[in-house]
Amino acid sequence: MADKEAIVGKDRSPFFPGKPVTPEFFIGREEQIKLLERAIRQAKSGSPQYLFITGERGIGKSSLVSLAGQLAEREHGFISAQCQLGGADSVGEVCRRMYQALVSQLPDKSLFDKVRGVFDKYVERIDLFGIGVEFKKDAESRESLVENFLPLLFRVGQVVRDAGKNGVFLAADDLNGIATNTQFAHFLKSMVDQIAVGPQRNFPWVFSLVGIPERMDDLKSKQPSIDRIFQPIELSIMREKDAVAFFEQSFRSVDHTWDTNALQLMAQLAGGHPVMWHEVGDAVFWEDQDGHIDESDVLERGLNVACENVGRKYLARPLYDELRSKVYQNILKHIGHQKSPVMKRSDVLRELPSAQAKNFDNFIQKMRNLGVIRNIPGTRGEYEFVNLLYYFYITLRTARIVESSK
Ligand SMILES: Nc1ncnc2c1ncn2[C@@H]1O[C@H](COP(=O)(O)OP(=O)(O)O)[C@@H](O)[C@H]1O
Ligand SMILES: [Mg+2]
């Protein structure tokens, strides 16, 4: 391995599965970017905007929201901040995380000092760039931080505008357990209402929640008008040509060359799911030995590694074992040949030797129990993958089975 890396100077892979992509590697999503820019413009001209960026895990929500934040900053003179709500279990915790993000992600020191000043009363301790803001823990300051959320937000807005900025872009990423918290749903609703009818009705901000579609449903069940307030921006899988563009751009950035068919093959394998682009890209990058990506780098080496990584990282152990079992391989092959992550019992049975029909039903049962697939509502015998990652793993895995049996 060491030798390989020395030959073409592979110090650093341009692929980074799991990390949000930086703007220079960002591909596609033109439509969603247009909606985000429109929201930023509207906010700038005095109409507060509320968004909900949604899609499956790994589809690119965090990447999109951080690109939008940068756009807001660079092109529209906003300040932008992104906080993680994963693990937050109270409205107080949500407020603290939002403020901390606002304080710590400011572009310059003088603005940082001023915004920090807004929260002085509540802060126990803060390190140089506000990354470690510790809010006071006594119940009174905690409560008052929540109660004063809006006045504090407006003061931040004032400070920001005094410094010549046009608005605030704030994203709350990784919305999770808190989405089932009734108080949180009410907090959101009343925040929006109070802004709308108060003297700050032109508050120039974009506030975006980010989470998988189920979290939006959770919120809706606690507070039905959430649906109407937050404009959804939906991310679905991307196009194969986006994948090709992504591979070209990434390999170019590390001075690699390629055969067109090799990149097309990678795009086919990875499909439209960006997290899979990174998995496939990273595997092929490290398996290649000469700085030129060809078909054999993909089929003979990269594919195996990508499959192993995806299986190990994204699938729970029990499922991993099921998929390795010989009994299910014909079924997997069938699924792998499909063009979409949907399975119809009747289609599969048509292609399977009749002796295997029972295996198929067992397979479906197991996959359902493991939470990998689910019934498509309103159908009989039609199934979809709960998470697209699973589907892509199976596609990758099947391509590998087919390759190795040639
Ligand atoms: N538009 C894109 N262009 C290139 N890579 C992307 C894009 N969107 C997402 N990715 C990559 O896909 C992976 C998952 O993206 P992420 O934004 O973390 O998804 P999510 O927040 O929906 O789980 C990351 O490795 C990220 O770099
Ligand atoms: Mg994310």
Nearest ligand to the C-alpha atom of residue 22 = 1
Task: Tell me which H or E stretch contains 168.
Answer: strand 167-173
Measured in angstroms, how far is the CA atom of residue 43 from the centroid of ligand 1? 26
Average pLDDT along the chain: 86
> 28 CB less than 6 Å from ligand 1?
yes
Kindly state if the Cβ of 63 falls inside 6 Å of ligand 1.
Answer: yes
Nearest to 72 by CA among 101, 109, 107, 20: 107
Asked whether the predicted pLDDT for residue 333 surpasses 80, the reply is no
pLDDT digit string, tens, across residues 341-395: 788 888 888 888 887 888 888 888 888 887 778 889 899 889 988 666 677 777 7
DSSP 288-329: -SSSEE-HHIIIIIIHHHHHHHHHHHHS-HHHHHHHH-GGGH
User: In percent, how much of the chain has pLDDT > 70?
Assistant: 90
Chain centre to alpha carbon of residue 284:
23
What pLDDT score was predicted for residue 158? 92
Neighbours of 368 (CB within 10 A): 14
**CATH 3.80.10.10: does it fit domain 29-234?**
no
pLDDT at 1: 43
Ligand 1: which atom is nearest the Cα of residue 173? 21
**Ligand 1 touching residue 19 (CB < 6 A):** yes
Secondary structure of residue 197 in the 3-state scheme = helix
Atom number in ligand 1 closest to CA 18:
25
CA of 246 to the centre of ligand 1 (A): 11
Overall average pLDDT of the 296-317 stretch: 82
Task: Determine contact, residues 43/200, Cβ cutoff 8 Å.
Answer: no
pLDDT tens digits, residue range 100-152?
888 888 777 788 888 888 888 888 877 766 567 778 878 787 888 888 889 99
pTM, two decimals, is 0.83
Mean pLDDT in residue range 189-216: 94
Q: Where are the domains of the chain?
A: 29-234, 239-404
Q: Which ligand is nearest to the CA of 172?
A: 2
Nearby residues for ligand 2 (ion, Cβ within 5 Å):
62
Q: Worst-scoring range by mean pLDDT, 20-24, 49-53, 241-245?
A: 20-24
Give the pLDDT band (50/70/90) at residue 405: low
* Ligand 1 contact, 278 CB (< 6 A): yes
Each residue's pLDDT tens digit, 73-95? 999 999 999 999 998 999 989 99
Q: How far is CA 388 from CA 131, 168, 342, 360, in A?
A: 35, 34, 10, 20
| CA 18 to centroid of ligand 1, rounded, Å | 7
Instruction: Assess whether the C-beta atom of 272 lies below 6 angstroms from ligand 1.
Output: no
User: Using an 8 Å Cβ cutoff, are 119 and 96 in contact?
Assistant: no
Query: According to the model, what pLDDT value does residue 131 have?
Result: 65
For residue 66, give the ligand 1 atom closest to its CA.
17
- 175 burial class (0-12, 13-18, 19+ CB within 10 angstroms)? buried
Q: By alpha-carbon position, which residue is closest to atom 23 of ligand 1?
A: 58
32-41, 227-236, 322-331, 379-388, range with the lowest pLDDT = 322-331
